[in-house]
Structure 1
């Protein structure tokens, strides 16, 4: 996958303040506040920064966590992972595989078949409806 490299100034001009905070400053939206949390339509969830396809609605489920959750990305190279030791915790950050933007975190308490919970910020995602 071809990577996107932009300066933070370029990202700041393209993204809303909330999107910039989440995607580029590794922020987190408040639980239960995201526009895509209860979305049940069929389609593809994309990176709000670059449009990279990340998750299919077929892998979305209600984790009860307050954030949109998925059990698998749309492809192996759709996302990247990085160790996150912020706030005195050790977690695995999920980043867009194309532009490196922060999406959320992954936890080992999801449903089968993967057993993973990709806990994403709605503000990091766009939704493309499919018929």
Structure 2
């Protein structure tokens, strides 16, 4: 796999501003923050298309795998490709969770949980601020 895209904080901030990303996008993607539940712009979007990393543009999810988990964040049953996302153990806040990051640039996306209602059994719970929706 090629090396991850590397930029300074200032470069990431400038790139996100240039893209018109949400104000919280830098904190979410580069500092592993999170947006408040039910506040993200893609939580209730059901149009056909694909979801890409707001930082580097890599395709992460297809709209056909999106479902309403009722958790307040966009949820998907699987990544667009097996190598689109990397997973890491996250032990913050007294919990053990599986963090998801963009395999191309390392942007924090959210977490994946083993409680999804589809055949994969997975719920990729993503921050809207880490995503860019591209309509079909």
Which of the five TM-score ranges fits, normalised by the shorter chain?
A: over 0.9
Distance 1:71 1:112 in 2: 7
Q: CA deviation at 1:6?
A: 1.5
Return the match for 2:29 from 23, 40, 43.
23
Question: What is the aligned partner in structure 2 of residue 112 from structure 1?
Answer: 118
What corresponds to 1:99 in structure 2?
105
Q: Counterpart of 1:78?
A: 84
**Which residue is equivalent to 2:5?**
4
| 1:38 equivalenced with 2:44 (yes/no) | yes
How far apart are residue 42 of structure 1 and its match?
0.2
Q: CA deviation at 1:5?
A: 1.5
Q: Aligned equivalents of 1:83 and 1:12: distance in 2?
A: 26
Q: Shift in Å at residue 100 of structure 1?
A: 0.4
Q: Distance in 2 between matches of 1:33 and 1:23?
A: 16
For 1:119 and 1:127, locate their aligned partners in 2 and report how far apart those are by CA, in whole Å: 15
Distance (Å, rounded) in 1 between the aligned partners of 2:55 and 2:111:
17
Unaligned runs of 5+ in 1: none
Q: How many residue pairs end up in the alignment?
A: 130
Coordinate RMSD, CA, aligned: 1.0
Distance between the aligned counterparts of 1:65 and 1:52, measured in 2? 25
TM score, norm. by length of structure 2: 0.92
Give the distance between the partners of 2:53 and 2:25, measured in 1 at CA.
10
